[in-house]
Structure 1
Amino acid sequence: MPDGSRAAALRAARRASVPYRTSPWPGRLHVTAHHPAHADPLLTFLGGARYLLAADTTLLIGCGLVEGPETAWRRNFSPGPDELHAADAVILPSADLGHAGFLPQLVAEGWHGPVFATPATAALLPVVLSDAAKQFAEDAAQVCPPPPGVPPFRAEDVTCALALVRPVEVGSLHRVGGVEFEFGRAGGRVGAAWVRVRAGGRSVVFAGPLGAAEHPLLRAPDPRPRSDVLVLAAPEPPADGHLAGRFAAAVHRAVRRGGSVVVPVAVDGGVELLRALTGQLPPLPVVLDGDLGLEVHRQATAELRRGARVPAPELLREPPDGPSIILAGLATADSGRVLRHLARLLPDRRNGVVLLGHPAPGTRAAQLADGARHLKVHGRYVPVRAEVTALGGTAAFAGPEEVLAWATATPAPETAFVVEGEPESAQALAKALHAEADWCAVVPEEGERVLC
């Protein structure tokens, strides 16, 4: 744990290096200030997958990195908003960087307290956060002159953060201070969970991206519990039913040209996609740049749907001389080892890039999906000559109809807040909840506070 002087120096250095307010909402104070005991809980939407619930005890649900265009991404290199430091405890819905990636920086800035996660998430965090720290350090070393500010976190910050993590079993009720919470399986990612919090006689459910009912490996999400308030992540648009075939076709085209294919991937490493494509892909070496994919699937045993098998393709650590499939993070292509592969492969027309899911607007992945002719990588512009195939889905996460069915299978909450995802998807789900189920469904603004 960094001592007070180091934490203060770190915060001062980061403020000096990147001009960004401690709080992005002028005039806002710690939400716990003057919050009377036993009053209705106060919920603050802090942007991305970060929600502060202030009651007798104040919880931060989600502590992720901010995704989006460069102006949003640079917020990860700045001191965290003061509201984050008001938390008595942190609850991590998953090990994904969008839910957990800001935790080491928060700890480096001086925060300390318990961090709760499912056992599978707790087991993945050391690999996810350590790998991310290495990626950030590698990125900084590639750029000349170096980027302003310091990386979001370093290896020593990860060590301090991991010391605070406490596993909590799915389905068990856990008390922290004056509130209770429980995890339920969310699906989609190993260890991912929805969270129900009970405070001051009220209950709030936080549900991030839900897994598809027919996920190739993992069990479906647990049913939504009753609650007074629901905070629900917007779904990604429906996956193309021919996704696997389109992926395989893109690989075959690159092989015929004598090229390789690079796939920006998230924490799961993309290994499950290769399992789904067994028999459709040409016999190519698979390069997994990082340990995440393998570790995710080592931890998957407890969450596998009955009869599913964990894939074990032969994986390499470095690209061979000939064509190959390269899986590397981050999925947004805004940081990480995927950048060096893009810089090498994009200028050559023989190669290909396959984009999974729906990248956040403004990210490098989104620029490629939108037909960018050049991409800025490590301070230099790289021409985009490789074939780019945007699949527009992964089939791992629930689409709009599945999310709507999951939410409405349980009696309506007083209010549902649709968060995360693309603005269009959030508005569409809110309208559907209102039109089809007569719910009070709201898309909150960043920084907005509401009583629960």
Structure 2
Amino acid sequence: MPTNPVPVASAALADPTRRRVMPGTAGPASPILTFLGAVGTVTGSCFLLEHATSRVLVDAGLYQGPGELRRRNWEPFAIDPRSLDAVVLTHAHLDHCGQLPRLVKDGFDGPIYCSAETAALAAIVLRDSAHLLEEEARYANESGWTRHRPALPLYSAQDVEQTLRHLVPVLYDERRELTTTVGVRLHPAGHILGSATLEVDIAGEVVVFSGDLGRAGHPLLEPPAPPAAATALVLESTYGNRVHPPAEPDVLAGAVRRTIGRGGTVLIPAFAVDRTELVLLELERLERAGLIPRVPIYVDSPMALEALGVYLRALHDGSPQLRGDRAAALERLGALDLHSVRDAGESQRLNAPDQPCIIVSASGMATGGRIVHHLAHQLPDSRNCVVLTGYQAPGTRGRQLQDGARHVKIHGHYVPVRAEVVDIPDFSVHADADDLVAWVASAPAPPTTVYVVHGEPDSAAALAERIEDELGICAVVPTLAERVRVD
């Protein structure tokens, strides 16, 4: 369970008649959509809707991956945060919510609407993000490998606590008025707990945002709800040019058996929210079936442990998001030789474990967190194995390992890669190309235009082409900062 409660937003923040548009910034007469992020890349989700006196932001995510993308996190916002009436979040992953503290720090004082589970998970994710940013800045200053004097965090823990006071939980399928001309409904997206697709009504026109869509066969969550009829649909394309291969459960079992047999450690970089839960469920299944030996399993991520608490609470509360045929599997995790690692000293000892074991630690793309320290110590040892469990964005250490890199740079040093690297796409909870096309086709009426975002260029282009060829709908890959009318 979360160790710190989520602050409750004041009623005044959620008043749709409370204007925040700065003088001279009145919006356009027709509804306008501006693509402020997640264009040409899978991270940095951020979209602006404007009409007359209304200004609403959908998501405010961090860029992850290559340095040229991460540097965008430090650039001034394309709009004055003080001019925004509200923000709506699709879900709690960092590339969708990670810029919120900067937004508040720079003057945003309105409500941030999201599902109750997203509010709980975003508190965990953002607190962890601030901690990591502060620790990385401290480490860079102490070690001297930074080019900045001094290195500063993007935002602080204090900025996060201020941000959490703006979160306003809303129910699925409940219309919430954001301004006098903008309303929103959240619908289940089946990606992670609390994830939502957004149905935004702006001056009588409907814009649907997919956020990140889940797979129909998610091990824990019910599939996404169909999209509403809309003028415009903003669609993710993370897997827009490929289809998930059939599951191969023997791959993980084989990797664990080989590694434990040679006295090594299995390192599993896993996203703290949702992915860690799925990895643990599969390890429990394999151990119960006698397919892997019983060894200590360390969850070395305070954030993952808190997120697991949110999932267990949803299970005990009977959340309709959880699949009835699988949700009870969460309760069987207690049968594992499971160890929760919260103390930094204990985590450091896992850099050189005294017996074969499995370590599950964030982040999933090895861009930060405790997994980076484990990799620095354990990649040079050929007894060990790194198991990649999902999408690895270009420029991340996870992608470098996936592509067969012989060394990776960690904390200013190049580390040789002698450990075995195993890639298991089975754990991805992103809809693939077939899922995405089917979801668009399931709308009660086709949208006028589909805008394909949140994917690498080849992936976005391929999905747009499929939508046009198979569904006969105009599908466009927008450019960064492009503005389009949605009437």
Matched, 1:214 2:247: no
Partner residue of 2:194 out of 188, 191, 197: 191
1:230 CA displacement: 0.1
Who is 1:357 aligned against? 390
1:393 CA displacement: 4.7
Question: How far apart, in 2, do the equivalents of 1:59 and 1:337 lie?
Answer: 36
Who is 1:252 aligned against? 257
1:146 CA displacement: 5.7
Matched, 1:205 2:211: no
CA RMSD of superposed structures (Å)? 1.9
Who is 2:472 aligned against? 438
1:71 CA displacement: 1.6
Structure having greater relative contact order (Cα 8 Å, sep ≥ 6): 2
Matched, 1:407 2:440: yes
Matched, 1:151 2:156: no
**Is residue 269–residue 329 contact of structure 1 (8 Å, CA) maintained in 2?**
no
| 1:145-180 Cα shifts (integer Å, max 9, x gaps) | 163342222111110000111101111000011210
Partner residue of 2:303 out of 292, 297, 308: 292
* SS in structure 2 of the partner of residue 338 of structure 1: helix
- Counterpart mapping for 1:15-414 below 5 A: 33=25, 35-36=27-28, 39-48=29-38, 49-55=45-51, 56-82=53-79, 86-143=83-140, 144-145=143-144, 147=146, 148=148, 149-178=151-180, 179-236=182-239, 237-266=242-271, 267-277=273-283, 278-279=285-286, 280-300=291-311, 301=314, 302=319, 303-308=321-326, 309=328, 310-311=330-331, 312=333, 313=336, 314-317=338-341, 318=347, 319=350, 320-410=353-443, 411-414=445-448
TM-score normalised according to structure 2 size: 0.82
Question: How far apart, in 1, do the equivalents of 2:293 and 2:107 lie?
Answer: 51
Question: How far apart, in 1, do the equivalents of 2:423 and 2:220 lie?
Answer: 23
My pick for the range that moved more, 42-51 or 331-340, is 331-340
* SS in structure 2 of the partner of residue 135 of structure 1: helix
**Is residue 69–residue 361 contact of structure 1 (8 Å, CA) maintained in 2?**
yes
| 1:273-317 Cα shifts (integer Å, max 9, x gaps) | 231341233212222122333333333321211132225342331
Question: How far apart, in 1, do the equivalents of 2:243 and 2:131 lie?
Answer: 34
Question: How far apart, in 2, do the equivalents of 1:71 and 1:246 lie?
Answer: 35
* SS in structure 2 of the partner of residue 106 of structure 1: helix
Describe the shift of the 1:282–1:116 C-alpha distance in structure 2 as closer, same or farther (beyond 3 A): same
Question: How far apart, in 1, do the equivalents of 2:357 and 2:102 lie?
Answer: 36
**Is residue 263–residue 355 contact of structure 1 (8 Å, CA) maintained in 2?**
yes
Question: How far apart, in 1, do the equivalents of 2:298 and 2:68 lie?
Answer: 32
* Count of matched residue positions in the alignment of Structure 1 and Structure 2: 420
Stretches of structure 1 lacking an aligned partner (at least 5 in a row): 1-29
My pick for the range that moved more, 291-300 or 329-338, is 291-300
* SS in structure 2 of the partner of residue 230 of structure 1: strand
Question: How far apart, in 2, do the equivalents of 1:340 and 1:443 lie?
Answer: 38
Question: How far apart, in 2, do the equivalents of 1:361 and 1:85 lie?
Answer: 33
Q: Which amino acid aligns with 2:127?
A: S
Describe the shift of the 1:375–1:395 C-alpha distance in structure 2 as closer, same or farther (beyond 3 A): closer
Question: How far apart, in 2, do the equivalents of 1:91 and 1:211 lie?
Answer: 19
**Is residue 304–residue 362 contact of structure 2 (8 Å, CA) maintained in 1?**
no
Describe the shift of the 1:341–1:77 C-alpha distance in structure 2 as closer, same or farther (beyond 3 A): farther
